[in-house]
């Protein structure tokens, strides 16, 4: 039996709460990334506006845009897989959406950890705290979902064992009616 890392609620409810939180966080990040791309599209040639908004002439380097695209794909994957996971947890079946959610979560943790290291070099304390908060939350979310997955596998194995023991006549079921007891 898997341990429950959610001390104040059932594990299934904890998975639903984490999925709803991930849906909200993903939607916010996708909206922010989309607004940056819209700003880029409308102000690409206006260096004065760029300087006023971002403090430099053109902060949109290839690496910055590529990073935003990667983060957008990760959060988009997490949004879709969190919706699938919520429905799967509601039905007490974690067969859909777990692997894409796990891959997106690991990617987000790695990306934010790299951003944390980058911010550490720049020593922006406010951004460091946000990065640490997200890393801790995502690690806890992985722990909860892996525990739920483990409990689901444990229940499936118990159900298979029970059905096999009934089928072999070891439970005193209908197959044992005409047999002599084992000596």
Q: What is the pLDDT of residue 168?
A: 54
CA 140-146-149 angle, to 5 degrees, is 145
The per-residue pLDDT for range 36-56, each reduced to its tens digit, is 888 777 766 666 666 666 665
- What average pLDDT is seen over the chain? 76
Segment among 4-8, 76-80, 150-154, 172-176 with least mean pLDDT: 172-176
- Retrieve residue 143's tokens: 């722990």
Q: What is the pLDDT of residue 178?
A: 52
Mutual orientation of helices 11-43 and 47-54 as an angle, nearest 10°? 140
- Asked if 116 and 135 count as a contact pair (C-beta separation under 8 A), the reply is yes
Quick one: residue 56, left, alpha or beta (phi over 0 = left, psi -120 to 50 = alpha)? beta
- Report the pLDDT averaged over residues 9-21: 86
Kindly tell me if the per-residue pLDDT of 131 is higher than 60.
yes
Q: What is the pLDDT of residue 156?
A: 58
Q: What is the pLDDT of residue 1?
A: 44
CA 72-36-65 angle, to 5 degrees, is 60
The per-residue pLDDT for range 51-91, each reduced to its tens digit, is 666 665 556 667 778 888 888 999 999 999 899 888 888 88
Whether the model clears a pTM of 0.75, i.e. scores above it, the answer is no
Rg (CA), the chain: 24
The per-residue pLDDT for range 97-112, each reduced to its tens digit, is 788 888 888 988 888 8
DSSP string, 35-63: HHHHHHHHHSS-HHHHHHHHSSS----HH
């Amino acid at each position: 039996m898997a341990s429950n890392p959610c001390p104040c609620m059932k594990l299934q409810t904890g998975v639903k709460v984490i999925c709803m939180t991930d849906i909200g966080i993903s939607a916010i990040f996708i909206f922010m990334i989309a607004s940056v791309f819209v700003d880029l599209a409308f102000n690409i040639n206006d260096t004065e506006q760029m300087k006023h908004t971002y403090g430099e002439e053109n902060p949109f380097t290839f690496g910055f845009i590529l990073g935003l695209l990667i983060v957008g794909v990760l959060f988009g994957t997490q949004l879709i897989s969190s919706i699938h996971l919520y429905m799967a947890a509601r039905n007490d079946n974690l067969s859909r959406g777990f692997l894409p959610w796990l891959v997106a979560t690991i990617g987000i943790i790695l990306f934010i950890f790299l951003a944390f290291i980058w911010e550490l070099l720049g020593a922006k304390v406010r951004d460091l705290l946000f990065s640490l908060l997200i890393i801790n939350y995502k690690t806890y979310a992985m722990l909860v979902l892996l525990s739920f997955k483990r409990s689901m596998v444990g229940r499936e194995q118990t159900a298979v064992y029970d059905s096999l023991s009934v089928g072999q006549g070891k439970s005193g079921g209908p197959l044992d009616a005409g047999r002599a007891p084992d000596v």
